């Protein structure tokens, strides 16, 4: 019985930690590197026939060149609404509309801007690590409660806590790898 409870606590903590890592990765993908990527605009909300719709549900994306993103609406009548949403977004890029597709040309970020983006990425990575550590703390509280109730021996508690620490270190290392990759991406010209 006690193994089932402890394995449930550890499995739940692992699943939540993996989600925290995935969230951090999604946060990274939304940071502009000067390269064109659909992740920068696919979640943009567009006012379309009176409803807020995500851009990815309304258009296809292609990247013919490293710094050019082409947005091809499924419904050509939505071009104006998409263009307006892009202009009102915080991208800082003026879309060019040729009547069938919208093109976004991404400028090369300045060295100063790249350094600012590295700081933002590091902060997001730190937020992800804090989330993982908070999940470890929550799991430890659950394990302590199991021990207090007599469902878990001291030796088993030590064993499970070591397993929890190992999982936590793996997830933090995964965030560090993502951070390193994103920093290299940001700093290359």
Domain ranges of the chain: 2-30+110-187, 38-105
b/e code 26-53 from CB counts within 10 Å (16+ = b) = ebbbebbbbbbbbebbbebebebeeeeb
CA-based angle 96:98:103, to the nearest 5?
A: 40
Topology match between the domains 2-30+110-187 and 38-105: no
pTM of the model: 0.70
Name the superfamily (CATH) of residues 2-30+110-187. Answer: Ribosome-recycling factor (1.10.132.20)
Q: What is the mean pLDDT of residues 173-187?
A: 91
Q: What is the pLDDT of residues 108-150, one digit of tens each?
A: 778 887 888 889 899 999 999 999 999 999 999 998 988 888 8
| Whether domain 38-105 has CATH 3.40.50.150 | no
Give pLDDT, residue 2. Answer: 54
Q: What is the pLDDT of residues 5-63, one digit of tens each?
A: 888 889 999 999 999 999 999 888 877 666 777 877 888 888 888 888 888 888 999 88
């Amino acid at each position: 019985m006690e193994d089932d409870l402890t394995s449930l606590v550890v499995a739940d903590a692992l699943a939540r930690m993996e989600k925290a890592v995935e969230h951090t990765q999604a946060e990274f993908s939304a940071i502009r590197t000067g390269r064109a990527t659909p992740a920068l605009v696919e979640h943009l909300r567009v006012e379309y026939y009176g409803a807020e719709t995500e851009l990815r549900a309304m258009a296809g994306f292609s990247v013919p060149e490293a710094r050019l993103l082409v947005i091809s609406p499924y419904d050509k009548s939505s071009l104006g609404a998409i263009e307006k949403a892009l202009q009102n977004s915080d991208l800082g890029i003026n879309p060019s509309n040729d009547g069938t597709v919208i093109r976004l040309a991404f400028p090369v970020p300045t060295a100063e801007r790249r350094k600012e983006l590295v700081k933002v990425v590091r902060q997001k990575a730190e937020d992800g690590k804090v989330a993982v550590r908070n999940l470890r703390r929550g799991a430890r509280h659950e394990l302590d409660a199991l021990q207090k109730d007599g469902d878990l021996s001291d030796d088993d508690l030590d064993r499970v806590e070591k397993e929890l620490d190992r999982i936590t270190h793996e997830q933090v290392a995964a965030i560090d790898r993502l951070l390193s990759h994103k920093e290299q991406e940001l700093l290359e010209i």
